[in-house]
A and B are shown apart, each in its own frame.
Chain A
Amino acid sequence: MIEILSTGAANSVQDLGRFGYLDAGVGRSGAMDGLALEIGNRMLGNTPETAGIEVTLFPFRLRFETATMFAVTGADCPVRLNDRPLPPWWAMRAAAGDVLQLGLPRSGARAMVCIAGGLDMPPVLGSRATDLKSGWGGFEGRGLQRGDRLALGRSTSSGLADLPAGFGIDPTEIRRSAAETGPEGETTVRVLPSAEFADFTDEARNALFASAWQLTNDANRQGFRLQGPHLALSKKLELFSHGIMPGTVQVPPSGQPIIQLAEANTCGGYPKIANVIEADLWRLAQVPVGRAIRFVEIDRPAAIAALRRQRAMIDDIAALAALARKDVKHPEKSGTAE
């Protein structure tokens, strides 16, 4: 068990999302920064889709009621186990009674707390992700509250008995892996043009890539509203409702784009100008309100290559983490660790 000592209601149990029910109107949900969740899980020897806690509101504190391994990934926030400060993207063992604390991020916006064996609650439609909009999944279908006690699953890893200080991953490597270099203090994400891209004016299409788009206060798990130049259509469009994905950039009549994210509706009707590629969705999760986002156009082979590189990076990290945990008896023979 873990007990939540302080939290905000936007912090919730999340896994990699709910798959297979889009045609019933059930959205993905899952961690906004799926990369941080997956790496945190692989550091601990968990399966990638194991549920952890997405922390958006700080400070966040929990108490371990039993000894367990844990990892904190995602936003660069000050992390303490009792009074001891931990480096970013760190995995180690907590003793029963230890208190884990996450402070306000120095950079980024969302941290993931992963625990060996994961959070154990009955899956809803095949996932432990909280669907905050619909009010089910995760812990009682809601955000976490002080005093909540969450059950833990059984860990299959042998643990960190020989590595009392734990181990970590250099997050600059991860950030570099996806980043197109852009101006300092801005987040650059790669996009593919979407179905109605050609229906926007030349000015709008130029402005999409030339402008810095400010993230407004209207930023949550459903989507981000951005502020910047007015994006106009060259002719009026009436679209029938159609499927949309996390990463879809819609332009409603206001001319200000909305990026649909983890808890997006499964269908929408606004014209779509672009789609943020899957490999860069995690970067959006780390954009704080007020920061600027830039879009860079790439093509489909580049988007697939980015996804392939990301999978390879996660596999490499998993292999190294298994060595650190000494889970693997003969890594030199098996080639891959997990």
Chain B
Amino acid sequence: MEGAGALLLDCAGQTFDDDAQALIWAVAAALRAHAGVLETVPGMNNLMIVFDPLRLAPEALEQAILHCWRTVVADAISGRTIDVPVTYGGAKGEDLAGFAAAKGMSVEALVAAHVAPLYSVAAVGAMPGFVYLSGLDPRLAMPRRANPRMKVEEGSVIIGGAQAGIMPLTAPSGWHILGHTDFSLFDPMKDQPAAFRPGDRIRFTVREIVA
């Protein structure tokens, strides 16, 4: 319950589950067609449903959610795969060398480990167009900085905890900056303002490694 007009469905265990996430996307899509449901917000192994409590009783919505959860079939191949070219290191990738050193890896090995997986866009949120990516090599997991930077530039390719991400706009962040992309993640003038949707896949490619 998040106020009278929002419910949070949480199926998170100890670690992130890609199968559960696919089910969340499918349940979200099904619920959007339900009368009185206004918005659905997939998070990481959870789903917030925003509704009009004057039109739809929360108890009825809870029943609808449970029904969807039991009957909806996840569509595993709905997303697109999109390449995101990255310039690693340099002024716009200032943590690269330090990150590699902290992991006892060469910069080249770190970059190779970062571009190797096919990442999945688990959720879009927090800030406009921000993507929560699952699929990071567990060796590259790194706790967030103790002191977040007040400004991390738009296009920064970042790691926070076990998650990878890209900054859609310049904003404060405690994540580590490995590189930079010119790929635009968000345009408020478009009907679909976010470049990525949950279920899309991202492959980082190396444009350049700057020492």
Contacts and interface: CB of A to CB of B under 8 A. Distances in A.
A209 B40 CA distance: 31
A277 B53 CA distance: 12
A308 B5 CA distance: 12
A291 interface: no
B3 A192 contact: yes
Given A134-B127, A267-B43, A195 B10 contact: yes
B4 A24 contact: no
Contacts of B99: none
Given A23-B42, A267-B125, A245 B12 contact: no
Contact of B3 (A137, A242, A303): A303
B1 A25 contact: no
B203 to A, nearest CB: 22
Contact of A307 (B16, B38, B42, B54): B54
State which size class the interface on A falls in.
35 or more
A194 B7 CA distance: 10
Interface residues of B, number: 45
A26 interface: yes
Contacts of A161: none
Contacts of B54: 304, 307-308, 311
A137 B8 CA distance: 29
B43 A240 contact: yes
Contacts of B12: 239-240
Most buried by A among B124, B171, B198: B124
Contacts of B127: 25, 133-134, 265-266
A161 B110 CA distance: 73
A248 B28 CA distance: 21
A245 B2 CA distance: 7
Most buried by B among A136, A194, A277: A136
B6 interface: yes
Nearest to B168: A25
Contacts of A275: 1-3, 6
Interface of A: 19-26, 124-125, 131, 133-137, 192-195, 239-245, 247-248, 265-268, 272, 275-279, 300, 303-304, 306-308, 311
Interface of B: 1-6, 8, 10, 12, 16, 28, 38-48, 50, 53-54, 58, 123-130, 132, 168-169, 171, 186, 188-189, 192-194, 198
